[in-house]
A and B are shown apart, each in its own frame.
Chain A
Amino acid sequence: MNAPPCLPVRSRACVRASLAMLFAAVLLGGCGGGSERPGSAPSPSPAPAPAPAPAAANVAPIVVDGGTDGTAFNSPFVSVTVCQPGTSTCATVDRVVVDTGSYGLRLAASAVPAAIALPRVAAPGGAALGECTPFASGFAWGSVRTADVAVAGERASAIPIQLVDDPSGGFGTPPASCSNTGPNFGVGSGARGILGVGFLTQDCGDGCTTSPPPAVYYACSTAGCSPTTVPLASQVSNPVASFATDNNGVAIVLPTVPLGGVVSISGSLIFGVGTQPNNQPGSARVFSVNRQGNFTTNYKGTNLSAFIDSGSNALFFPDASLPQCSGGFYCPTSAQQLSATMSAPNGSSATVDFFVESVNALRADAAVGHAGGAIGSRVFDWGLPFFFGRTVWVGISGSSTPLGPGPFWAF
């Protein structure tokens, strides 16, 4: 058998394999060639490190580390509590990814104790509602349940969430039309769930209310599952929008990260925009979005469709001049300082400096670092490294904030 294929993430196995290969002077290429560290690593500080937010009811601590099994990389995690609606029968689930690129709470069924009986949400015909949540990386299949959702001191009452890979009630196997959309992504590597806190309230919206998309929501019975429409109230929804207070958006605060990477960092997920003394956006610049939820980023003279996504573990953009290693991550021989210019429909623009260093140049135990990667030719995905050393605001669609109505990004 060949050397194990090196994953684009800094999995321990990959690091060990690449080191062993280096020591044995047997470079098979799987992990890419150069593992040089930049000589005198500059401190990448595109923005001053924000002061840590004080503990408060609207602040959930974020940790970015290797996750449940050490395979997560650049994944920001919080803890989320789910309760049987209206009761104190609850379970707290840690290692839930904070994802500004999706909407709603999805928990691995295996992370929720059987003693927590979450009622099933019904499809319009009365059958149990299931969902095949589409991500670019694959789908998450499971049942839709009702739960009270608490994060830090905030609580959303009786909202639909998704129980991913729910083995019960006929949900054990995804329908063929779901499996045919791509890989089975589940809740992702090293995670127990996904907390979608992007700027929409429902995960599908009007696109699922009048005619059923081919592979999103399903009505499931013993006879099987078939695509169904779903009213907005039954769709998996962003818990933030259902909080009693601090429900108009969020801020994500992360510290700067040195070149070479670090084992972990701590930050904050703050609820509300301008609703409390600790979430005043001040002079943060607002970037509005188009109908698809994107703004424009110009990189090396090319306009790209752009979004900001804490659930993407690198900055993904097209640059044929940067060498790639396996999985499409960029592996330049030395750290690159690059820049791109964002511009939004509301006229805002900003030039953003950023670093990209080879994932092979990170310290062996790094779960955080300035990673970049390829993503076709039309998209700039501002993944987690964009959040390093910044406070990034999300304004929820239809809500009002001191920065104006959502949807928007601001930083």
Chain B
Amino acid sequence: MKTLILLAGLIAATPGWAALGGPASQAASTTQSSAASTAAGVAYTDQQTTLSSGTVVHEYADAGGTVFAVSWSGPFQPDLKALLGPWFDVYTAQAAQNKGHGHARMEVRNADLVVISTGRMGDFQGRAWLVSRLPQGFALEALK
């Protein structure tokens, strides 16, 4: 219950953003949405937002409007807490166990969540998805 309330609060506080596993955000002026489909013919949407920092965020939502994956690229790290929603704490908790990776990469995988963050100051890229939520036939290469 607490998690749900927190999630709702985050979405309300960050218009134009959707959290992984939550409902897709409403289109904002900096956002463009495009329809796509997987190799198996399952429809999904790719909503692209350019943040004021110059970093571009993509949110991938299934036909029911649930965000199953996000990706980002650009000069600065985005607000990952808003982007990953309740999964952010899972990410940081597991990342804390991954000591010694070096600076340019963090990869976290648990039963459902995958987060891959790479790059360095000035040039970051990252992707995160929920394994159980991927539409049938969805190729991870489609994440921009």
| A interface, CB within 8 angstroms of B | 5, 7-9, 11, 71-75, 99, 101-103, 133-139, 177, 179-185, 188-190, 194, 198, 200, 203-205, 207, 211, 213-216, 292-294, 307, 309, 311-314, 316, 327-328, 373-379, 381, 383-384
Residue in A7, A136, A180 whose CB lies within 8 Å of B126: A136
**In the complex, how many angstroms separate the beta carbon of A99 from the nearest chain B beta carbon?**
6
**In the complex, how many angstroms separate the beta carbon of B25 from the nearest chain A beta carbon?**
17
CB proximity to A under 8 Å, residues B119-144: 119-127, 140-141
Assembled-state Cα–Cα distance A311/B118 (Å): 13
By the criterion CB–CB under 8 Å, are A183 and B125 in contact? no
The 6 closest A-B pairs by CB, nearest first: A9-B100, A189-B99, A180-B81, A183-B95, A312-B102, A328-B107
By the criterion CB–CB under 8 Å, are B76 and A309 in contact? no
Nearest opposing residue in chain B for A384, CB measure: B102
By the criterion CB–CB under 8 Å, are B100 and A292 in contact? no
By the criterion CB–CB under 8 Å, are A7 and B98 in contact? yes
B52 contacts chain A at the CB level, 8 A cutoff? yes
By the criterion CB–CB under 8 Å, are B77 and A375 in contact? no
Having A189-B100, A194-B103, A376-B127, one finds 17 other A-B pairs with CB under 8 Å, namely A5-B97, A8-B101, A9-B101, A71-B99, A73-B100, A101-B104, A102-B121, A135-B120, A136-B119, A139-B77, A207-B76, A213-B53, A215-B76, A215-B77, A293-B122, A312-B103, A376-B125
Q: Which of A73, A103, A182, A200 has the most CB of B within 10 A?
A: A182
Contacts known (A180-B81, A183-B92); A381 close to B104, Cβ less than 8 A: yes
| B interface, CB within 8 angstroms of A | 51-54, 75-82, 88, 91-92, 95-107, 109, 116-127, 140-141
Contacts known (A213-B76, A309-B102, A327-B101); A133 close to B119, Cβ less than 8 A: no
**Within 8 Å CB of A200, what residues of B?**
122
**In the complex, how many angstroms separate the beta carbon of B79 from the nearest chain A beta carbon?**
5
Nearest opposing residue in chain A for B123, CB measure: A292
Nearest opposing residue in chain B for A374, CB measure: B107
Residue in A99, A327, A377 whose CB lies within 8 Å of B98: A327
By the criterion CB–CB under 8 Å, are A375 and B101 in contact? no
By the criterion CB–CB under 8 Å, are A181 and B98 in contact? no
Assembled-state Cα–Cα distance A104/B105 (Å): 19
Contacts known (A137-B117, A138-B95, A316-B105); A7 close to B100, Cβ less than 8 A: yes
User: What does DSSP make chain B's interface, helix, strand, loop or mixed?
Assistant: mixed
By the criterion CB–CB under 8 Å, are B119 and A103 in contact? no
Assembled-state Cα–Cα distance A5/B80 (Å): 25
Contacts known (A134-B121, A180-B82, A316-B118); A72 close to B103, Cβ less than 8 A: no
Residue in B79, B81, B103 whose CB lies within 8 Å of A136: B103
By the criterion CB–CB under 8 Å, are B100 and A135 in contact? no
Contacts known (A294-B123, A327-B107, A328-B107); A182 close to B95, Cβ less than 8 A: yes
By the criterion CB–CB under 8 Å, are A72 and B123 in contact? no
By the criterion CB–CB under 8 Å, are B118 and A138 in contact? no
**Within 8 Å CB of B141, what residues of A?**
377
Nearest opposing residue in chain B for A72, CB measure: B100
By the criterion CB–CB under 8 Å, are B91 and A307 in contact? no
Nearest opposing residue in chain B for A191, CB measure: B100
**Within 8 Å CB of A313, what residues of B?**
100-102
By the criterion CB–CB under 8 Å, are A328 and B109 in contact? yes
Assembled-state Cα–Cα distance A376/B75 (Å): 18
By the criterion CB–CB under 8 Å, are A180 and B120 in contact? no
By the criterion CB–CB under 8 Å, are A137 and B102 in contact? yes
Nearest opposing residue in chain A for B93, CB measure: A183
**Within 8 Å CB of B101, what residues of A?**
8-9, 137, 312-313, 327
**Within 8 Å CB of B103, what residues of A?**
99, 101-102, 135-137, 185, 188, 194, 309, 311-312
**Within 8 Å CB of B92, what residues of A?**
138, 182-184
**Within 8 Å CB of A177, what residues of B?**
79
Assembled-state Cα–Cα distance A227/B81 (Å): 18
7 contacts between A and B (CB under 8 A): A7-B98, A8-B98, A136-B120, A185-B103, A188-B99, A213-B76, A384-B102
Assembled-state Cα–Cα distance A180/B82 (Å): 8
**Within 8 Å CB of A7, what residues of B?**
97-100
Assembled-state Cα–Cα distance A139/B121 (Å): 11
By the criterion CB–CB under 8 Å, are A133 and B121 in contact? yes
**In the complex, how many angstroms separate the beta carbon of B89 from the nearest chain A beta carbon?**
11
